Chain A
Amino acid sequence: MKQLISGNDAIFEGAFRAGATYFAGYPISPTSEILQRAALRSEEDPKFHFLQAEDEIAAAIATISASLAGAKAFTATSGPGFSLMQEALGWGHVVEAPCVFVNSMRVGPSTGMPTQPAQSDLLQIKAGSAGDYYPIAFYPHSVEECFRLTVTAFNAAEESLSPVILLADAFLSHLYELVDLEKIKTEIVARSKGPLGKGQRLFTGTAHDKIGNVKTSDPVIYREWLAELKDRHFRVAEKYPLFDYLPCKDSNILLIAFGITSRIISALKERFSIFRPIRIYPVLEKELKEVTQSYPRIIVIEGSDGQYASWVEWAIGRKVMKVPCLGGGFKLKWIQSQIEDRLRGEGR
């Protein structure tokens, strides 16, 4: 049966399909609806636990602790809350807790424009917490994809034993579309980690050896541990090389956009080729190299001041043109005029 549901609803239902039994969150626009749905679900289903935490720090810690305790857990927030969750995100990578963090982006920094969409938390997913870590992040662009990718995110989390980030934006969170969830087929990866009460393990954020002994001054053990973590994350990420490529025969210009911007510029597919990365991090290095080599001119259209563009430049080793849609201004006409300006050599 087709239902008219929003991106937030689809994310929640996707998590439920994947087997999530724990949600912790703190009210924030634009993901409060996920928190509300979780509260309702916990009343209907005694196996589903829910915590409205005192802040996002607690929400994120609760999500990871629930995962260690044996539940498939997730949390949802927006930019400012995601900033508070960074500590837990780093911890989640070290204690190897599979869980999902949903970050529906809005205009920042700080409180910014709470109801306006943005795509400016990309660097935050990679570099928000201290130290080196390699999170996997996906970014859907439709309500149906919100559902599918939430399941994918849970699967990738179980495989990589780490928090996986599902990005969205204020636009997508509140976008309503007709979707038939029952007809969507999904594969679900079961829990791989034993729950608490199974032995004498130590889950610590401190550097440790394989059996969980704290080792705070041994570079060899640390290097081995980090190499193993990196290898595992990139191996799992390779299983999900998700992107969308719409070549246009008459064009030698490639537009790169993702999330809601890719949805908006899909109206230009008759004039330009369009590449849409779905796995945002680790960056689709190989795929970007392959696709971009036949295009002399590349324009990255995104809701931040060149965050993804800098990754594209790093991946393909040459300069690209940028159209930053800032302050929630995602109008097709405006984007079109900016593209024309760039092609004439104006702007940046």
Chain B
Amino acid sequence: MMDRSYKELLKMRRFPHTWCPGCGIGSVLKNVAMVMKELGWSDKDTVAVSGIGCSGRMSGYMNLDAVHTPHGRALTAAETIKTVRPDLNVVVLSGDGDLGSIGGNHLLHTYRRNPDITVFCNDNEIYGLTGGQAGPTTPQGTKTITSPRGEPYLPLRFGRILTQQAPYFYARTTVYHLNHFKTCIREALSWKGFSFVDVISDCIELNGRRLGFKTAHQMFKWFDERFHVVEGVRDHLQEDELGIAKREVEEVSKPKEEVKVEVAVAAEQLKPFTLDELQTFDGTEGKPIYTAYKGKVYDLSKSPLFQGEKRMRCHIAGKDLTQDIDVAPHGEDLIFKFPLVGRLV
């Protein structure tokens, strides 16, 4: 027999719930509760946070201490609760309009600060509660009541934004691919750090019917056509892929180029310059900017401070700068950054 103990985590006394028949939110709520129960989470150690919208009502049906924030502020609230009470598991249950549009700034910065919270985004590509207006994730060309000729702009792609800066955990799944959905929930809840589960969900009443679907099941079939599950750990997901993209640390950037090139070159091989010759390379008439330092000549043409002018604030092109550098507030390392082109004779 099926294990129904997850119902302890739901406020069954408040059922039937407020959502329309066929809505995907119920599936999100139920599956999150099931996995939480599996992991042994209870009302003593777990807090649910929601924003506003149909999906924002989810926290109110959880049998936990729940916080129902103003529109878009769920992430900030969740992050703060985790800061003050690190012993609590904090879960955000919200939607695409709440997290991506009005809470977009908080999404970027909470992701950047990487608190140990898990976000479930009921991504139904529409503002359902207010009557079916275009949302941030509404695909381009979709007709809604606020885009009667088709949504003119490209949608916000959580999958691209949230996989740019490690550490990150981004999972895309749908309410139709149930096994995959549960795997994503399980992995996200176990991830240490900010994890985001983008649950592609349906809004049959205020989006699906306008798109020509007759039942929620037809929309699920449509999800099956649009997306396919990919296995294994990935860095990024394509737009038609369901899976998990995660990375713990940023890729190590390329090793810095050797700064002290001058050591390698023998002094005799360098082109000799006299002080008079050097003076002609002052950056005028398209000539390069050369300056001398401790008997060597450097090409400062790329220096942003000269900018093609003969003189910057303190130094003059075409001169021996040995004494200047000694009294300058910066060290000689600044001049070693530039290519060595000759020696002073």
Contact = CB atoms under 8 A, between A and B. Distances in A.
A191 interface: no
A87 interface: yes
A38 to B, nearest CB: 13
Contacts of B109: 53-54, 58
B88 A61 contact: no
Contacts of B59: 202
Contact of A197 (B45, B68, B76, B79): B45
Dominant secondary structure at the A interface: mixed
A101 interface: no
Nearest to B14: A213
B99 to A, nearest CB: 14
B166 interface: no
A330 B230 CA distance: 69
B66 A202 contact: yes
A200 B43 contact: yes
Nearest to A97: B67
A189 B87 CA distance: 26
Nearest to A203: B67
Contact of A49 (B78, B84, B106): B84
B70 A87 contact: yes
Interface residues of A, number: 39
A65 B76 contact: yes
A200 B105 contact: no
A74 interface: no
Contacts of B88: 69, 196-197
Nearest to B65: A196
A71 to B, nearest CB: 5
A194 to B, nearest CB: 9
B114 interface: no
Interface string A68-111: 11110000000000000001101100010000000000000000
A214 B80 contact: no
Interface in B30-76: 43-47, 57, 59-60, 63-70, 73, 76
B57 to A, nearest CB: 7
A206 B70 CA distance: 9
B10 to A, nearest CB: 10
A61 B67 contact: no
Contacts of A212: 60
Contacts of A199: 43, 65
Given A65-B76, A200-B11, 5 more contacts: A53-B109, A65-B84, A197-B88, A203-B67, A212-B60
A54 B106 contact: yes
Given A22-B84, A58-B106, A196 B47 contact: yes
A272 B88 CA distance: 59
Interface of A: 21-22, 24, 49, 51, 53-55, 57-58, 61-62, 64-66, 68-71, 87-88, 90-91, 95, 195-206, 212-214
Contacts of B76: 53, 57-58, 61-62, 65
A205 B70 contact: yes
B184 interface: no
Contacts of B44: 197
B55 to A, nearest CB: 14
B80 A65 contact: yes
Nearest to B60: A202
A54 B84 CA distance: 18
B259 to A, nearest CB: 34
B81 A61 contact: no
B84 A71 contact: yes
Contacts of B68: 202-206
A57 B77 CA distance: 11
B83 interface: yes
A269 to B, nearest CB: 46
Given A54-B106, A58-B109, A195 B60 contact: no
Nearest to B64: A200
6 contacts: A22-B84, A53-B109, A58-B105, A61-B70, A62-B79, A197-B85
A120 B294 CA distance: 63
Contacts of A205: 68-70
